Structure formats: C-alpha cells, structure tokens
Chains A and B, each alone.
Chain A
Amino acid sequence: MKNNSSEHLKFVVSILLCALLGYALGIYGNLPWWSFVVTNMFIALLIIQKPIKSFMSGALGIGLLWLGLAFVIDNQNHHILSVKVANILPLKGSFQALLAITSIVGFLLGGLASLTGSFMRKK
C-alpha cells in the first residue's frame, strides 16, 4: 500500500512539475515553444516511473496546462479570436475544436518527451 501511494505521489508530482516548469519556461518569449520537451525529459529522468506513467504524467502536465491557459484566455476574450482561427484552420469556426486540438498537441508532445526521458533512465 505504501508503495502504491508513493507511486501515486510520484505521478501527481510529475504532472505538477511538468506543468509548472513548462509554464515557467513559457514565460520567456524568446525561448522556443517546445522548451517543455527538455524539462519533461529531465523530470522523467529524475522521477522514476513506469514508461506508461511517465508518458501520462508528461501528457497530462502539458495537455492540461495548455488546455487551462487557452480556456481562460478564450473565455476572457469571449471567443473573438478562437472563432476566427477555427475558420482559418479549417475547424468550421468551432472554438471547442480549437481548444481540443491545442490540448492534444500539448498532450502528445508532453507525453512523448517524458516517455523519452523515462527510457533514458531505465536499465
């Protein structure tokens, strides 16, 4: 049981760290948008989990970060820009679809980065 709860803790801490460091690096506009790939890898390297859990923690960390940020921005903007972009992209003007795609991109790349990090560590 103890083991299990420390696994839970690792998982949650990983998610939070991925999101937090990803966000912190994102503040610097001069750094590339994919900077979180590097931090996710390091987090997966330091916090040892099963590959699948590493993937999920990185994916949820960045995916939820992106979804949350975009969701807040979009609501404060009353969807003015998201509807326009969803017409350019072609998503038929659906801001929901645009939010989904935004979070999926963060989810996938965040997950893959953490997965790569976890494989780096494991024997």
Chain B
Amino acid sequence: MRLLPFIASAIVTVGLVAVLDTQLPIGATKSPRLGYFLSPQHGFWKNAEKVNTNFDASILANELKGNVDVYLDDRLVPHIYADHDEDAYFVQGYLHAKFRLWQMDFQTRVASGRLSEIAGADKLSIDRFFRRLGMVYGAENTEASINATNPEMKATVDAYTAGVNAYIKQLDPADMPFEFKLMNYAPEKWTPAKTYLFLMFMSYDLTGRSATTDLQLTNTRDYLGYDLFDKLYTNNQDSLDPIIPKGTVYQKPSIVPVKPAKADSAYLHQNNAVAYTNVQSPEAPDKNNGSNNWAVSGTKTKSGRPILCSDPHLGLNMPSLWYEVQITTPTHSTYGASFPGSPAVIIGFNDSLAWGVTNAGRDVLDFYEIKFKDSTENEYWYNGKWNTVTKRTEVIKVKDSADVVEQISMTHWGPAMYDAHYQNPQSKGRNLAIQWTAHNASTGVETFYRLNRAKNYDDYIKAISLWTCPGQNFVLATKSGDIAIKQQGSFVARWNHQGDFIMPGDDSTYAWQGIIPNEENPTIKNPARGFVSSANQKSTDATYPYYLGTASSFPLYRGISVNKHLIGMSNITAEDMQALQTNNDNVFAATARPALMKYLQVDKLSPDAKRMVTEMTNWDLNNGVHSKGITVFKIVWDSVTQAVWGDELAGSPIPLTKPDDFVVLDQMLKDSNWSIADDIRTKDKVENFKDQVTLGVENATKKLLELEKENKLEWSLFKATRVLHLTKIPALSRMNLPIGGGMNIINATTEMHGPSWRMVVHLTDEIEAYGLYPGGQSGNPGSSYYDTFVDSWAAGKYYRLLFLPKEKLKQHERTKWHIQFNKA
C-alpha cells in the first residue's frame, strides 16, 4: 500500500462525501444534501416524471374488504368505484398520498407546531404560536370524542389513514416527493390525529384571525379612546345587502344575552397602557379569506332546473388545498373538491343535489385577561377566589438544537396563551386566556360524510346541524328544485360588542351565555326572488336578535354585486353562471369614484395629476386584466383614505387596525365635514374631504408616475397575482398571472389570494357540472400535471366535470388509466 497517497486520497474522498452529504447554509435557509439531491437514482431526478407516464397500476392491500376500481381521466381526476364505503376512503387516502403526500405532511406540521423539527430554530416562533393557541389541544379533543362516541366516523377516518399508510409503506425512499428531498427529511406515518389537525387548521384559517385582530382592535381602542374608535370602526353598514334579505322576520331568541352591569366602564371604555415587547407571531389569516356561493331556482334558469355555484376564496397555493375526486359506492355517488388530509368530498355534488360553502365570519374566539397569584402561574383570580390551573406540556423538537418545552396554564376559559413566557407586541405584557369554539370536540367530518350522501333538503339540514367550526354559509340546490342557504356553526349568543376586545377574566358575567340553537341560525329556503347567495357579508340586518361581530369581519361589496347581478338575470344558463363567477365589475368604485369627484378640486391639480384623473374618470369600472383605470383608482383611493385617517393612527408604536373603506365612503356620501378628515397635526387649519381628496390625488400621482415608468400601470401587471408553492420558492410557483378581479370584486383574485376552486353545477337529470382550481392534480413539481389548470383558471375557462356511473365512465373517451385495488 502506498500509505501517504492512500491516506490523502481517502481523506479527500471521505471529505467530499461528507460535504456533499451535508446541508450547507445559504443565507437563512439550507441547501439540500447536494450529492444525494443530484444523484439520478436517489435525488430530485427521480421526481422528473415522464410526460406521457402510464398511471395504470394494480395494487394489493389486505386492509380492503373488497375490490376497488379507479379510473383516471385526462385531467388525472380519479373516479373511485368501491363496493364498500370504507374501501372508498382507503383508496381516497392512498391516492391523496400518491399525489399529495408532502403537502399533507407539511400542512399538518404547520398546524401542530412542528416546523422547527424539520427547519430548525428559525420556525420556533410560528410553532410556539400554534402550540399556545391550542391547535393540538383542539384536535385531541375531537379525536377523543370521535373515538368514544362515533364508530362510523372513526371507521371512516381509520380507513382513510390506512390508505395513506399503505402508500407510504410501499414507497421507495428514492421515490418520495421532491420537497422531502429538498428540505432533507422523510415522510412519517399518517394518523387520525393528523386529519383532525388539518381540519383544525381550516378552523384557524377561517376563524383564527380574531387571535390577532382582537388584540389589535383592543390596542387601537386603547390608543384612540372608545369614542373616536367607535367613529372609525363603526359597525353600522349603510349599504348592507345581507344574506337573508332585509325585512325577514326573526323568531324570538331563546337566549337573551345580558350585558354585565359595569361593561361600559370596565370593558368598552377600558384603557390599558402597558409596555410593549418584541416577539413576532406568524401572519394572521388573510382578511379576504371568504368566498362566494349562490343558487338560482328553476324559475330563473333556461332549463327550469336550479344551478348552484361555489367559489371559496383562500390563499392560492401549490400544491393546491384541493384535489378533485369522484367517489361511488352502493350507498352514494359524489364528486367534487376534497382536502388531501381528510376523507370525503368537501365542496361538490352527488346524484341528488349540490352544495357549497362560504365563510360566516362570525366571532367565535375571545381573549380574557388573567391575574395569576404568583410567578408559578398555578392559580388565577376568578369570581372572588383563587382557582387552580392544570398544566399542559407541549414539547417542540428543534432540528440541530435542544427541545423547547411549553408549559401552558389551562384555565376554565381555555389555554392561557399569553403569559410571562410568551408575549408579542400586541399582547403588551398581559396574561391572556383564549376561548375558542374550535377547541371543542368537532363533528365536522361527519357533516361532509352526510352531505356526500344527502338526498334532499332535510338530509342537508341534518348533515349541517353537526357543523360547529368554522361557521359557514351552506348553500344547497337539489334536482327536485329546492334551493336554500343556512349559516351554520356553533355561534356564541353575544351582547353588543361582547368579545370585540379583551374581556376581564376574573368575572363570570363576561362569560359566553350560551350557543345559539341551530334552529335560530339564519336560514332561507326557496325565497320569492328565486335565488339565495352569500359573499361573507353580514348574514342578517340589525333585526336579528344576536350580535354578529365587528363589521370589519364582513366585506360589504361583493355581496351587493352578486345580488345586483342575480336580480337582473333570467333564462340563466351554466355559461352565464361561469361568466358571473369571473365577473370583474367594481361596485365599490361605482359609488366611490363619484364621491371622490364630488370633492376633487381639479383646478388645483398638477398636469400629471389631471392626466391620471382623466384615466380614472374614463375607466369603465371593470377590473379587467389590461385596465389602467382601476390601478389609478385603487392608488388614489388608498392615498385619500390614508390622508383622512392616517394622522389619527400615526403616533402608535405598534401597528393598529386600518379602518374599513366603507366607513370612509359612507361618510363621504353624507357628511363633507366629517371630523376625522381634519389633519390633527395642523393646528391652525381644519381640513375637510375637499382638501384630503385633492391631497390624496397629488400623493397618488407620485406613485402612479413611478408605476408608469416601470410599465406597471396595467392592472394584472400591478397586481401580479401568483400561486405560491407552500415553501414560497418562486421557481415552484406560478408568478405574474394575467388575471383581473380584486378586492370587492366577484372574481376576488388579489395578489396571492382568490377563488381557490370554482364550481358551477346545473341540476339537470344527468348533472352538468363545471369546475377547476388554480393548480393541478399532481403535487409533484416534476409532473406535467403539476400546474395543469392554472392558465385556464386565469383565463376564466372551465372544465366539464365527468360524473358518470362506472360502465359509462370506463368507456368514456376522456378516461385514460385504470388503477385496480384488490384484496390481498
């Protein structure tokens, strides 16, 4: 042996292996293990799927009761035909895993505060937030309750879990999804708990905004004082067109919530000035998480049959939250969008009816301020005595670092989320317990299970009566001709403003006084106007006997736009409904532009500003892809509102809640001398709307000229809508999509948010359904099915959905592949 050369060469070889087998730091993130990642038999090349892959397969599984046939159509949508219900969910789990395993893992990691485990201490603040919010606690409650009381749902979730695990078990590590390789970790077994965690995350996404906004609103109130606050954040929406038409008579409430005697001084007008701390919490769920849905009755359609439409507006991500599927068993046949992570179809139709959901926006999460006896936080003051907490331990594993242990004091309200160990700038050093309906055991899985099988209105009511959180507006249309909408969830019977702000936690009179009985939740069936609709606006006018929550939770203008269009339509076809879902009319600007022009002192404007105003006044009030008028309008409006209330909020050390657009617009329409319009920083002058609109246009012009230089005045270039990969890596995302729409628009597509699934169902004898989502059936960035639908989605096109019995589907020209599952 040539010793020295051998040693040298061995060291270099081993050293190179070691370097290529290590994640190297790149900025804040880490590279994959390069040697592994580049290895054509192990790394990412294995995920580069043949463009003409044959998906035919034959799979043996001993968990099955019988055989299952799956046919994949040309869009890679599986049509599952099973002899037993549980087998169908087994196969659904298997297919979710086959096409979306990484996303299922990642989303439940976020929900359960386990990102640090794979990404390191960087993600600790997000993990701590979700742990302390009680995400795992809520999911555990649901799991325990379903295991103890609901054998049918337990069997369903167990079958689904077994399907996911059957896929994972046969998965060669070299074939695991791309992102596992990129982030250097491996899939782990699925559990029923993960399904409940995923659903818990949906509760967070749709009702958890309050966990941030309640604190922010409290701080805004503290900063401004209640009287000024009440002007800028009024709950009074003059132009509201509620889900249940105005004038509907509501029955006498069975609960009459009583406002605590001293609430005005001890709660509403309370003022807390406490030191700020500096910890970041994750971004709150998007304010625009919402949706449209509506159904028109046969009296308004060309065919005489109802048409139902549903488009949930959520963060636009790849892989998509949605996965299309048909499930057919002897008990039912259903089609629609499912959640990878959960069994059954979530928004869809079956051979009797169709359903869809929008977010109710009701406040179901409150904070209570806790006084602990001492730093052990073992006892807290409540109703005149010290009460003992129980301690909940949450262990957060951190990659390359020691575990972080959260000891959470559990009060009778719920977890003490904020305490001496956990603060952020908005909690201001206070101990805050959180009470949230999502913490309670949920039967949500069963709602969808029953809707998948529902035959008529009564079945639908029974199915949705099991729904607790997040509160939704469930729309229905049946083949037999019924249309209906019901706002359903566990809604707190609140007195006015109860829970808008942090409440005193030592006094039982501030407790929730009951959950509104299901029969009293806003409902309407077959109304005279021939349609039902919802777009996240307040469900009722002020005659409804319960408090709905702050007006800022209820966008106003999309609902007005939907109803205005539906009232004017007749002889409706499915194509008309597609056109309405992708409609770009701006009803907000239709009112706001004349209001601006009323106050604008054109003669005082610079030539550039005049040119911009002309662009705005010539605009056709449509948020089209190429429109420049909307860009000008938006920037002018934002700049005017900033001039109106920016001075009031400017001195705060932490971000405060922005007043809603409707507040400023309503005042512009009725009072030219609204006191807020005055710039409080100019002591010798009292400004009014005339001054602020003119100033706003000049300020906007500066920004608009810059945009013009960058050639970004066209709406879609300015808005730059994107569908982001869950890691936010641009190369895996679709950027700068040519799509119009926007906030307040039926086509509610903003920068990273919008219609995440569009569906139109015409309830003819053989159902005629259309739909798509901005993504693709495969979650693999190396598949040609990864982003299949994105361009059609942006262009406002639809696919005809194949919903057929087995024998017909098998022979259909669009059917491409067959996966056969046999009992082993």
Contact A112 B1 (CB under 8 A): no
- The answer to whether B35 touches A105 (Cβ under 8 A) is yes
> Are A102 and B49 in contact, with the CB atoms below 8 A?
no
Is A26 a contact partner of B42 (Cβ separation < 8 A)? Answer: yes
Q: Is the CB of B50 within 8 A of A77?
A: yes
**B10: nearest chain-A partner, CB-CB:** A116
Residues of A within 8 A of B730 (CB): 87
- Interface members, chain B 31-79 (any A CB < 8 Å): 34-36, 38-51
> Within 8 Å CB of B12, what residues of A?
112
Note all chain A residues with C-beta closer than 8 A to B40: 26, 65-66, 69-70, 73, 102
Q: Within 8 Å of chain A (Cβ to Cβ): is B670?
A: no
Q: How far is the CA of A87 from the CA of B13 in the complex (A)?
A: 29
Quick one: closest A residue to B40, CB to CB? A69
A78 and B173 alpha carbons, distance in the complex (Å): 24
**Cβ contact within 8 Å between B784 and A78:** yes
CB A6 to nearest CB in B, in angstroms, measures 23
Q: Tell yes or no: A12 within 8 A of B by CB.
A: no
Tell whether, in the assembled complex, residue A87 and residue B731 are in contact, meaning their CB atoms are under 8 Å apart.
yes
Name the distance in Å between B167's Cβ and chain A's nearest Cβ.
Answer: 15
Is B9 in contact with A82, judged by CB distance below 8 angstroms?
no
What chain B residues lie within 8 Å of A120 (beta carbons)? 1, 6
Q: Given contacts A33-B41, A34-B21, are A76 and B51 in contact (CB under 8 A)?
A: yes
The CA-CA distance from A78 to B783 in the complex, in Å, is 10
- CB of B48 within 8 A of CB of A81, answer yes
Question: Is A123 located at the chain interface by the 8 A CB criterion?
Answer: yes
Are A123 and B731 in contact, CB atoms less than 8 angstroms apart?
no
Q: Contacts A51-B5, A115-B9; is A101 near B48 (CB within 8 Å)?
A: no
Query: Within 8 Å of chain A (Cβ to Cβ): is B16?
Result: yes
Q: Note all chain B residues with C-beta closer than 8 A to A33.
A: 21, 35-36, 39, 41-43
* Contact digits for A87-123, partner B, Cβ 8 Å, 1 yes 0 no: 1100001000000011001101100110110011111
At the interface, yes or no: A30 with Cβ under 8 Å from chain B?
yes
* Beta-carbon nearest neighbor of B43 in chain A: A33
CA distance A112 to B51 in the complex (A): 36
Q: What residue of chain B has the Cβ atom nearest to residue A89's Cβ?
A: B31
Interface size class, chain A: 35 or more
Verify if B312 is at the interface (C-beta below 8 Å from A): no
Chain B residues 755 to 806 lying within 8 A of chain A, measured CB to CB, are 781-784, 786
Say whether A42 faces chain B, with CB atoms less than 8 Å apart. no
Q: Is the CB of A81 within 8 A of B44?
A: yes
Cβ B1 vs Cβ A109 within 8 A: no
Residues of A within 8 A of B9 (CB): 112, 115-116, 119
Provide the residues of chain A in CB contact with B402, threshold 8 Å: none
Contact B17 A123 (CB under 8 A): no
Q: Does A102 contact B48, Cβ atoms closer than 8 Å?
A: no
Given the known A-B contacts A77-B782, A78-B51, A88-B731, are A37 and B17 also in contact in the complex, defined by CB atoms under 8 Å? yes
A84 to B17, CA, bound (A): 25
Asked whether A123 lies within 8 Å of B782 as measured between CB atoms, the reply is no
Contact B13–A116 (Cβ < 8 Å): yes
Known: A29-B174, A74-B48, A119-B6. A80 touches B39 (CB 8 A): no
User: How many Å lie between the Cα of A123 and that of B13 in the bound state?
Assistant: 20
How far does the Cβ of B811 sit from chain A's closest Cβ, in whole Å? 29
Q: How far is the CA of A91 from the CA of B48 in the complex (A)?
A: 18
Q: A74-B45, A80-B782, A112-B16 are in contact. Are A119 and B5 (CB under 8 A)?
A: yes
Q: Is the CB of B41 within 8 A of A69?
A: yes
> Is the CB–CB distance between B781 and A116 below 8 Å?
no
Determine which of B45, B182, B786 lies in contact with A102 in the assembled complex, contact meaning CB atoms within 8 Å: B45
Choose one: A70, A81, A102, A109; the contact of B16 (CB below 8 Å).
A109
Residue A27 interfacial (CB < 8 Å): yes
Among A26, A80, A105, A121, find the residue whose CB has the most chain B CB atoms closer than 10 A.
A80
Q: A-side binding surface: helix, strand, loop or mixed?
A: helix
CB pair A108–B731 under 8 Å, yes or no, is no
A85 interface residue, CB < 8 Å from B?
Answer: yes
With A81-B47, A105-B34 already in contact, the answer to whether A121 and B1 are too (CB < 8 A) is: yes
Residues of A within 8 A of B729 (CB): 88
Q: Which of A21-51 contact B (CB under 8 A)?
A: 23, 26-27, 29-30, 32-34, 37, 51
Considering only CB atoms, which chain B residue lies closest to A41 in the complex?
A: B13
Determine the distance from Cα of A26 to Cα of B45 in the docked complex, in whole angstroms: 13
A93 CA to B731 CA, complexed, in Å: 9
Whole-angstrom CA separation of A61 from B781 in the bound complex: 30
A116 near B39 (CB under 8 angstroms)? no
Distance of A65 from chain B, by nearest CB (Å) = 8
Question: In the complex, how many angstroms separate the beta carbon of A117 from the nearest chain B beta carbon?
Answer: 9
- Residues of chain B contacted by A73 (CB below 8 angstroms): 40, 45-46, 48
**Residues of chain A contacted by B783 (CB below 8 angstroms):** 80
Q: Give chain A nearest CB distance to B161 CB in angstroms.
A: 24
B90 contacts partner chain A, Cβ-Cβ < 8 Å? no
B34 pairs with A112, CB closer than 8 A: no
| A80–B49 alpha-carbon span in the complex (Å) | 9
| B46 closest partner in A (C-beta) | A73
B732 within 8 A of A: yes
How far is A82 from B174 in the complex, measured between Cα atoms in Å?
17
* Distance in angstroms between the alpha carbons of A100 and B49 in the assembled complex: 20
CB pair B1–A123 under 8 Å, yes or no, is yes
Given known A29-B172, A29-B175, contact A80–B21 (CB-CB < 8 A): no
Q: Is B178 an interface residue (CB 8 A)?
A: yes
The answer, yes or no, to whether B2 is at the interface (CB within 8 Å) is yes
Which residues in B have their C-beta under 8 angstroms from that of A37?
13, 17
Of all chain A residues, the one with the shortest Cβ separation from B49 is A77
Closest to A81 in B: B782
With a CB–CB cut-off of 8 A, which chain B residues contact A115? 9, 13
Contact A84 B732 (CB under 8 A): yes
Q: A26-B42, A115-B9, A120-B1 are in contact. Are A109 and B47 (CB under 8 A)?
A: no
Q: What are the 8 A-B residue pairs with the smallest beta carbon separation, nearest first?
A: A26-B41, A81-B782, A29-B174, A87-B731, A69-B40, A77-B48, A119-B6, A29-B172
User: Measuring CB to CB, which residues of chain A are less than 8 angstroms from any residue of chain B?
Assistant: 23, 26-27, 29-30, 32-34, 37, 51, 65-66, 69-70, 73-74, 76-78, 80-82, 84-85, 87-88, 93, 101-102, 105-106, 108-109, 112-113, 115-116, 119-123
Instruction: Contacts A37-B17, A116-B13 known; list 10 others, CB within 8 Å.
Output: A33-B21, A85-B44, A87-B730, A87-B731, A93-B731, A101-B38, A108-B16, A120-B6, A122-B2, A123-B2
Task: List 7 interface pairs A-B (beta carbons < 8 Å), by A numbering.
Answer: A26-B40, A77-B50, A88-B731, A105-B38, A112-B16, A119-B5, A120-B1
